[in-house]
Amino acid sequence: MQEKKKKIAILGSSGSIGTQALEVIEEQSHLFEVEILTVNKSADLLIEQAKKFRPNAVVIVDQAFYNQVNNALFDYDIKVYTGAEALEQVVTFNEVDIVLTALVGYAGLQPTISAINAGKTIALANKETLVVAGELITRLAREKGVNILPVDSEHSAIFQCLTGEYMNPIEKIILTASGGPFRGKTAEELKAVTKVQALKHPNWDMGAKITIDSASLMNKGLEVIEAKWLFNLNPEQIEVVVHPQSIIHSLVQFEDGSIKAQLGLPDMKLPIQYAMGFPERLKNDFTRFNFLDYPQLGFEAPDTKTFRNLALAFSALKKGGNVPCVMNAANEVVVAAFLEDKIGFLEMSEVIERCMDEIPFVEKPELEDYIQSDKQARTVAQRIIESV
Ligand code: MN
């Protein structure tokens, strides 16, 4: 039992990971307390969370909601900030022990860099940060001696399998994928699918962006790149297997051929709790997995001819440089366009591929190059979408 509570900064406290992290903190309130909460626009929820958890500071990124939040918290001893730059500042506050990056997309990059520079432990839920700038982020973390603890369930599984195996090289990892709501569908069938169908994930209850990414297999593509940087792997060492029940969260194969897996019911609170409690395992009352409820666990190869995003992600990973950053930016634009009914499901991959071909290649990008590539890719993707 530790004496001092770990103080947590949650970037993105209104989202699926953010709200579940607050549940974990409430359940383990003898170990954790909330230091910082940030949201983009969800002012009402932020106010409610702040009154309940009494953080030292909150950030409402969208300035249009600043007065509302500031007035509501006027009688509380809680500092209120606004603007995207505020995220980069609050993560450096002295009191913060762990920064949970639960915001969506590219927006996670700069605050994560800032938190690493300040020497904070990162509980990484924002996979896009490692996709965009994995080389830069892992180099910085090494220099600063900062731990990046994965919250993504697959990467948490691999991380758990690697505990105690420090000296033993990985032969390969096997990332499991549920296959999403469209598993088994043909390209012809996918042409007509709607966002309502795409937003119905069979096993996981998540935010809109990641749910669309799961349906298109881009989520697994992003996770392949995330795994490369977290575990220092070559593309050839990363395999994806579709496992529709989402019980085996991922596996590691060692050089003797032995495979270790981590299993459990699909519940993000477990990887969130593991990252925040690391290296301790914390007692909880989450529902336990029972093999007899799952007499059949299935496995199949991913259909990368139909779901092209996974193949595009492997190609981005092999090309390296700014290509994963370009892919990620294009993907954020096409997912938003799909959610606004501006493009079809399969067109998402076409736009991403064209962006990857058109944006100039930068072999060894630094931060400015990533920022530039992200901007260019968004512009090009938008232009392609509007021309369809
Ligand atoms: Mn995942």
Taking only the tens of pLDDT, the chain with its 388 residues reads: 557 999 999 999 999 999 999 999 999 999 999 999 999 999 999 999 999 999 999 999 999 999 999 999 999 999 999 999 999 999 999 999 999 999 999 999 999 999 999 999 999 999 999 999 999 999 999 999 999 999 999 999 999 999 999 899 999 999 999 999 999 999 999 999 999 999 988 888 888 999 999 999 999 999 999 999 999 999 999 999 999 999 999 999 999 999 999 999 999 999 999 999 999 999 999 999 999 999 999 999 999 999 999 999 999 999 999 999 999 999 999 999 999 999 999 999 999 999 999 999 999 999 999 999 999 999 999 999 999 7
| pLDDT (tens digit per residue) in 286-333 | 999 999 999 999 999 999 999 999 999 999 999 999 999 999 999 999
Cβ neighbours of residue 357 under 8 Å, at least 6 residues apart? none
Boundaries of domain holding 116: 6-150
269 within some domain: no
CATH number at residue 113: 3.40.50.720
Residue 116 lies in a domain: yes
CB-based contact 7:95 (threshold 8 Å) = yes
CA of 156 to the centre of ligand 1 (A): 9
Distance 152 CA to ligand 1 centre (A): 5
State in Å: Cα 239 to ligand 1 middle.
14
State in Å: Cα 241 to ligand 1 middle. Answer: 13
48 Cα–ligand 1 center, Å: 28
Amino acid letter, 367:
L
Q: How many domains does the chain have?
A: 1
Residue 216 phi/psi, 5-degree rounding, is -95, 0
Whole-number Å distance, alpha carbon 80 to ligand 1 midpoint, is 32
The predicted model scores a pTM of 0.96
CA of 155 to the centre of ligand 1 (A): 7
Domain for residue 345, yes or no? no
| Burial environment of residue 245 by CB neighbours within 10 A (0 to 12, 13 to 18, 19 or more) | middle
The per-residue pLDDT for range 179-207, each reduced to its tens digit, is 999 999 999 999 999 999 999 888 888 88
Q: Are 347 and 334 in contact (CB under 8 A)?
A: yes
Q: What integer best gives the mean pLDDT of the chain?
A: 97
Q: Evaluate whether residue 333 is within a structural domain.
A: no
Rounded to whole angstroms, the Cα distance separating 323 from 286 reads: 40
Is residue 100 in some structural domain? yes
* pLDDT tens digits, 143-191: 999 999 999 999 999 999 999 998 999 999 999 999 999 999 999 999 9
How many angstroms is it from 71 CA to the middle of ligand 1? 38
What's the CA-to-centroid distance between 73 and ligand 1, angstroms? 35
